[in-house]
């Protein structure tokens, strides 16, 4: 009788077939993958992915000597070779300097002469003929480097003010856009709508419009960056308020604390580390974007970059790119240390 009854271990232990896992895919997954592949193939053709791969392959093969010439390698190689050496000095034509005194040169400057080829119209033949002239220059050994550093300081100021304005405006937007603290659904929808609108506007396009209103300079730059920053910070600030732990808030409410006091004492300590991280990220991003919006005249190093690029002065462009890289690198290190000190 005992032989026909299952043992207790067999009765309560799961059978092998109960542990059989379901297949990680089914016909729906296969159909979805097929649809995605078709869409990517269609989009890839529109985006000239095959052409990009072909040109990239030619450039790589040309670099290692297996291809004679590459269109991409030729274009990029010419520009990259002209980036070096970086230009750090500046030259001024002495004939154009007013009240110039050879016996009293500015500190660390020197005079250099160079032969310059100019073209003048021959009155008899009415043709442009080359003429070689000797031109004197006043050379500042670190003149252009100092100019670039001044522009980078201006760029950093634009980023700082854009971040400050974005933080100040995005905090009330975040409170009104958090479901657990907004007064009603109308303010919630309005706040979220404003934040989404600001975030959807590219800084470069906004800067182009602001330049029309405020003119060329830093005002258009930091306003354009701050508007986009409000959209970013307003969204993430609000989501952190909604996701904060409700137990401290309930305890404060039970003690009769007002809504504002609950927000300050029950929510802010929880979200502060995230807020610091978001703000530092926006500052870092604003430094990089301040260089980009300068291309449309919104101040900063971007204006200098565009001017030098348009005149094919790639040595100056290399100096500017190096300055941007070093600034972003330094800011990243400072942000990491500041974040570690504040957040722990």
Tens digits of residue pLDDT in 302-342: 888 888 888 888 899 999 999 988 988 888 888 778 777 76
Coil/strand/helix, residue 320: helix
The predicted pLDDT at position 17 comes to: 59
The per-residue DSSP string of 229-282 comes to: HHHHHHHHHHHHHHHS-HHHHHHHHHTT--HHHHIIIIIHHHHHHHHHHHHHHH
Number of other CB atoms surrounding residue 228 within 10 Å: 25
Residue 3 has pLDDT above 50, yes or no: no
What pLDDT digit, counting tens, does each position of 147-180 carry?
A: 999 988 988 899 999 999 999 999 999 999 998 8
C-alpha count within 13 angstroms, C-beta hemisphere, residue 308: 23
What pLDDT digit, counting tens, does each position of 241-286 carry?
A: 999 888 888 888 888 888 888 888 888 888 888 898 899 889 888 8
How do the domains of the chain map onto residue ranges?
Answer: 90-140, 144-343
Say which residue, 79 or 21, is predicted with more confidence: 79
What mean pLDDT is reported for the chain? 85
The predicted pLDDT at position 190 comes to: 95
Say which residue, 80 or 229, is predicted with more confidence: 229
What pLDDT digit, counting tens, does each position of 171-209 carry?
A: 999 999 998 889 899 999 999 999 999 999 888 889 889
Domain range 144-343, CATH class: mainly alpha
Q: Which helix (H) or strand (E) holds 138?
A: strand 128-140
The predicted pLDDT at position 1 comes to: 43
């Amino acid at each position: 009788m005992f032989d026909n009854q299952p043992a207790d271990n067999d009765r309560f232990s799961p059978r092998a077939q109960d542990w059989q896992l379901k297949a990680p895919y089914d016909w729906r997954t296969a159909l979805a993958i097929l649809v995605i592949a078709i869409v990517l193939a269609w989009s890839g053709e529109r985006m000239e992915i095959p052409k990009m791969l072909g040109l990239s392959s030619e450039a790589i093969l040309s670099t290692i000597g297996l291809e004679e010439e590459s269109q991409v390698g030729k274009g990029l190689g010419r520009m990259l070779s002209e980036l070096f050496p970086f230009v750090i000095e500046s030259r001024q034509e002495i004939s154009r300097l007013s009240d110039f005194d050879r016996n009293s040169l500015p500190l660390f400057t020197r005079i250099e002469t160079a032969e310059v080829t100019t073209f003048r119209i021959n009155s008899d033949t009415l043709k442009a003929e080359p003429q070689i002239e000797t031109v004197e220059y006043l050379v500042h050994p670190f003149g252009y480097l100092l100019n670039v550093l001044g522009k980078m300081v201006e760029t950093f100021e634009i980023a700082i003010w854009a971040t400050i304005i974005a933080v100040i405006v995005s905090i009330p937007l975040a409170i009104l856009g958090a479901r657990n603290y907004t007064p009603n659904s109308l303010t919630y929808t309005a706040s979220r709508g404003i934040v989404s609108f600001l975030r959807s506007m590219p800084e470069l396009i906004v800067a182009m419009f602001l330049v029309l209103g405020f003119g060329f300079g830093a005002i258009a730059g930091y306003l354009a960056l701050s508007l986009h920053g409000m959209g970013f910070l307003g969204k993430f600030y609000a989501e952190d308020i909604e996701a904060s732990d409700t137990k401290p808030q309930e305890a404060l409410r039970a003690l009769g604390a007002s809504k504002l006091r609950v927000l300050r004492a029950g929510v802010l300590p929880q979200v502060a580390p995230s807020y610091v991280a978001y703000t530092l990220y926006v500052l870092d991003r604003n430094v990089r974007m301040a260089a980009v919006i300068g291309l449309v005249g919104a101040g900063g190093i971007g204006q200098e970059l565009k001017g030098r690029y348009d005149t094919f002065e790639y040595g100056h462009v290399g100096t500017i790119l190096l300055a941007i890289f070093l600034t972003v690198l330094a800011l990243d290190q400072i942000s990491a240390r500041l974040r570690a000190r504040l957040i722990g």
